[in-house]
Amino acid sequence: MELVTPTIGEVLIDTGAGALKPEVSDGLVRARGVRYATASRFAEPEPYTWDGVLDATRRGPACPQPPSSLLAVVGNSVEGLTFDEHCQVLSVTAPVDASGLPVMVWFHGGAYVTGSGESVKYDASLLALEGVVVVSVSYRLGVFGYLNGNLGLLDQLVALRWVRDNIAAFGGNPSNVTAFGQSAGADSVYALMLTSTEPLFHRAILQSAPLGARGPERAEMTAALRSFVSVDASTPVDDILTVQQEVPAVVARFAPASGMPFGPELGPVDLAPAASRVELLVGHTADDASPYVAASPEAWEIATELVFAGPARRLAADWITAGGQAATFNFRWAPAGAPLGACHCMELPFLFDPAGWAGAGMLAGQQPDPALARTVRGLWAGFARNGMDALPSRSLELGG
């Protein structure tokens, strides 16, 4: 964290946690790398405050991590970032004249082992211009976040409390918050809904949540994982990552849960309390599982249905049965000649600045359709603003 001495005329934002200097350009305020919590290794997070003025013009650190298994599909999501166990930072993007706007809190994916909310791939400028305040959260991953309890999930809860207490300083409405995420980020939102009774968010968007990996074998898999990984507070980071990269082979027999060996542990699931307070939009891409079974195209549909599509439809139906409101989506757009079709992550360049996705293998050298991108951003922002009333259908077909 770097503190600076402000100059006359500089824009400063006073939050309950401390004052910060954001970047202001193109009609947007961007505060990057804002620390919301601190924690020692394997300890629960504590809210972070500071004295003086924080320089919030540079991206914060990502959690130490191995290379992504989807590197060839989506590109390097942590390119240009530093790495630090103390990665509990968030970034805020808001219109300069924001006042009482809906808030959207983003949780990145990466199977709970890779990625960062600070990634240029999650540049929220275009989404914020839809009239929302966007917060992107980074949290502890892998061994650091999920070997000894739900520490990464606790990080996320502290971040949501930070939003509740401080987002009004950016023109956001803390009484109208949507949590949204993709892949492990969507699974995080699912876990947050079911494990916390605090009214920290009011709507949720789950994109390609691998809910099919949440089976009865997860408890046994987690026990096997903890027996294999032996680290402590003094183990060097590189040694931890070396051991972590051996985990998939150790837990392979627990498929499909082994596709996401790390992640929050959940007890018995009761949807009713969350359904009574959270409106839900949940969905998937048409070929969500294709990167994971790329060598067997005939298995794309089966794996997508097992891990992503079927569980999404069931969650929506169960949500309604539990007394809530829910809608589904299926993102079907794929570039001509794309080797993996409408694969996992394909909708992300339609939500965030597509410049960050240039060169992603899944796009096969093509650009996201700009009209569809405007539609998707408008739907997501509209849902954040007005919930179900903003959706033209309870079953959305997007592209294709």
What domains lie within the chain, and their CATH numbers? 63-398 (3.40.50.1820)
Locate the DSSP E strands across 192-249.
203-207
CA distance 128 to 248: 37
**pLDDT score for 92:** 98
Q: How confident is the model at residue 267 (pLDDT cuts 50, 70, 90)?
A: confident
Average pLDDT over residues 308-313: 98
Residue 4 sits at φ, ψ, to 5 deg, of: -130, 160
So what's the pLDDT on residue 7?
60
**More confident: 139 or 269:** 139
Which strands make up the sheet holding 133-137, listed edge to edge?
A: 23-25, 28-35, 89-95, 133-137, 101-107, 172-182, 203-207, 279-285, 326-331, 395-398
Q: What would the mean pLDDT of 204-209 be, rounded to a whole number?
A: 98
At residue 9, the pLDDT reads 58
Q: What is residue 258's predicted lDDT score, i.e. its pLDDT?
A: 87
Q: How many Å apart are CA 17 and CA 3, to the nearest integer?
A: 14
- Provide the pLDDT for residue 5: 60
Q: Which residues pair with 146 in a beta bridge?
A: none
Q: In 3D, which of 359, 351, 272 has the Cα closest to residue 76? A: 359
Per-residue pLDDT, 71: 94
Task: Look up tokens 């046994």; give the residue.
Answer: 220
In angstroms, the CA 226 to CA 177 distance is 35
Summary mean pLDDT of the chain? 95
Span 367-374, mean pLDDT? Answer: 96
The answer on pLDDT for 259 being more than 80 is yes
How far is residue 233 CA from its own chain's centroid? 27
Q: Is 328 helix (H, G, I), strand (E, B) or coil?
A: strand
Task: Indicate if the pLDDT at residue 128 is higher than 90.
Answer: yes
The residue-averaged pLDDT of 346-367 equals: 96
- Residue 194 amino acid letter: L
Mean pLDDT over residues 253-261, rounded?
88
Report the C-alpha gap between 396 and 351 in whole angstroms: 16
User: Is the pLDDT confidence value at 256 over 90?
Assistant: no
Angle at 25 between CA 20 and CA 29, to 5 degrees: 40
Polymer length of the chain = 400
Mean pLDDT of 364-386: 97
